[in-house]
Amino acid sequence: MGSWRGRSARRGAGAVRGTSAWRVRAGLCAALLLVLAGCSSSPADDDGPDGDDGGATAAPRASGAPRSPQASGKPEASGTPDASASPGSSATGSAPGSAGARWQPKPGTNWQWQLDGKADTSVDAPVYDIDGFENSAETVAQLHSRGRKVICYINAGAWEDFRPDQGKFPKTLLGNKNKGWKGEKWFDIRRLDTLRPLMAARMDMCRQKGFDAVEPDLTEGFRNTTGFPLTADHQLAFNRMLADLAHERGMAIGLKNDLDQIPQLVNVFDFAVNEQCAQYDECEKLSPFVKQDKAVFHVEYELQPGEFCATARRLGLSSMQKKLELDAWRRPC
């Protein structure tokens, strides 16, 4: 399944992040047909922010969430991740704890997901999932002082031209444009030797700011037209590398969508983050996480709570409705 990616505000609220472009396009076509049938006026242009309607854009993307980079492209957080650090080294600064004592969210845990700018810390939820670059250590500390756990959102599967560390990624690592997401290009995830220190640096940033966990986005690149001959095995190796990097730093890590690889990955990830499994009738695929007493943090964008909350409760999901912008607004089950 595809997924909306949580940074839509910077890029336009109509784009979705994640995986399967086929699902996105099919959903879009169905929605447009309904609009055309119900009204005489022309539907609004729902192309991605850079005007493309192909690839994993314009509508729900199966593997991420609408990401919302700030218009300025400058993160609130200080500094740039140091990719020169040893991939397995522990970062200095406020750490969430030892690897043996890392946080393990339980099924049904309430949560907030805001990727549009600086976090609104007034939301009453025990877990926050926020952009790692755009939020400071002070914001994380403020949430901790209120008893919250905090997840660090990073893009693991694609390069973004607005991130402060964008110059550290060699051009040979970059593939096709991630259509619908201006300034974004897919990574060649086969190049683990090159990507490992770069991803380690981003996770060091998360750890230094005191985050408890990591949400790496775009972890289903093998289902997209990346410009590289990626396979399911390449994706499994890359995703397992990400899990190792987080665990080495004492942080939990969530599997973003990637439903078909859950059987191979559930043992190495600490929770799941999913978009629109109810809309696509795929929530049962997340049951392996719940059976291992691991939370499934789930959102729907188009369905109303009355259309998915009963199923979410039955399956033990932590579900809510969100806007595509992934701002502070939420409607939990």
- Residue in this structure with the two tokens 């997840």, named with its chain if needed: 151
1 or 201, higher pLDDT: 201
- Highest mean pLDDT among 8-12, 18-22, 162-166 belongs to 162-166
Q: Answer left, alpha or beta for residue 73, where phi above 0 means left and psi between -120 and 50 means alpha.
A: left
pTM: 0.76
Whole-number pLDDT of residue 81: 59
pLDDT, tens digit, for every residue of 256-274?
A: 999 999 999 999 999 999 9
User: In 3D, which of 294, 296, 279, 149 has the Cα closest to residue 211?
Assistant: 149
Span 27-41, average pLDDT: 39
Residue 299's H or E segment, with its range, is strand 296-300
For 99-320, CATH number?
A: 3.20.20.70
Whole-number pLDDT of residue 313: 98
Give the β-pairing of 184-187 and 158-160: antiparallel
- Highest mean pLDDT among 32-36, 84-88, 94-98, 297-301 belongs to 297-301
Whole-number pLDDT of residue 224: 95
pLDDT exceeds 90 at position 41? no
pLDDT exceeds 60 at position 305? yes
DSSP E strands, 42-95: none
pLDDT confidence bin for 96, thresholds 50/70/90 = low
148 or 66, higher pLDDT: 148
- Other beta carbons within 10 angstroms of residue 254's beta carbon come to 27
Is-contact 189 258, C-beta < 8 A?
A: no
Sheet hosting strand 158-160, strand order edge to edge: 158-160, 184-187, 174-177
Is-contact 273 218, C-beta < 8 A?
A: no
Whole-number pLDDT of residue 51: 34
- How far, in Å, are 96, 106, 141, 317, 322 from residue 151 at the CA level? 11, 14, 12, 17, 17
Span 293-322, average pLDDT: 98
pLDDT, tens digit, for every residue of 117-142?
A: 889 999 999 999 999 999 999 999 99
Span 195-208, average pLDDT: 98
